[in-house]
Amino acid sequence: AQPDPAELAAAAAAAAAPATPVKTEAAKPVSPPEKSSVPQPAPSVSPPKPAPAPKKPASPVVAVQSPGREEKRVPMSRMRQRIAERLKGAQNTAAMLTTFNECDMGALMAMRSELNPAFQERHGVKMGFVSAFMLASAMAMKKVPEVNAFIEGNEIVYKSHVDISVAVATPTGLMVPVVRDCERKSWPELEKELAHLAVKARNNQIALEDMAGGTFTISNGGVYGSMMGTPILNPPQSSILGMHGITKRAVVKNDQVVIRPMMYLALTYDHRLIDGREAVTFLCHIRDYIEDPRLMLLDL
């Protein structure tokens, strides 16, 4: 069927008519909810958590010692504490230096072997080596007096007397009793005083006054088999002589290699006071006296 012209005209008119605008309303802000007049319960507070219990300190670990490996602790004696204090004090104060030399003991040993019986019969003591070195040291100090001096404050104190401290072993440790006025004593007199001090040492009778006032020290490590060592100063002294063991060694004598009984000598000295020249010269004088004891007996 054909469309009705009237309907077509009405539809066309409707399409040509302007569209009617649609009114839109802006969104209203949302108001907060009204507070309720009913009281609210307070928030519950949880109780504080208990602090953690302190941890127990760990037990100290004790080393398990196997049999034969136990240790023993003993307090230091007053004497050992004093020795440690003095030696460390010397190390911290003095400018210590050691010079060495070697000495042919053949002539002195031959003289002792030949004359010891008569010496012992006459003087009641055996002829030893330490007394010979004491005499040699006292005579050498006449030529090098700096070795017998010491520093006190800003002054150098020169002693006219030679008081030699001699290291001896005692039941309570090493001690250094003093033989006084060695520059005035003969070889037999020095040996008698050494024998007297040895008896006192064995009986543990060395007193403090026996060890006071030395100006020089002699230590003989040779009795224990020492070959060489550097002795430490005995403050306030400025020098110490170290004797060592006698061993047969090949040395050159008169352009020939021969076997001789030799000893190393060590002189530790305070370089603040004693120069190397004086130290070496002093030690060479001792060597010369020991290698030819006649020089000591004739005061040459």
Q: Which residues are catalytic?
A: 271, 275
The answer to whether 198 and 229 have CB atoms below 8 angstroms apart is no
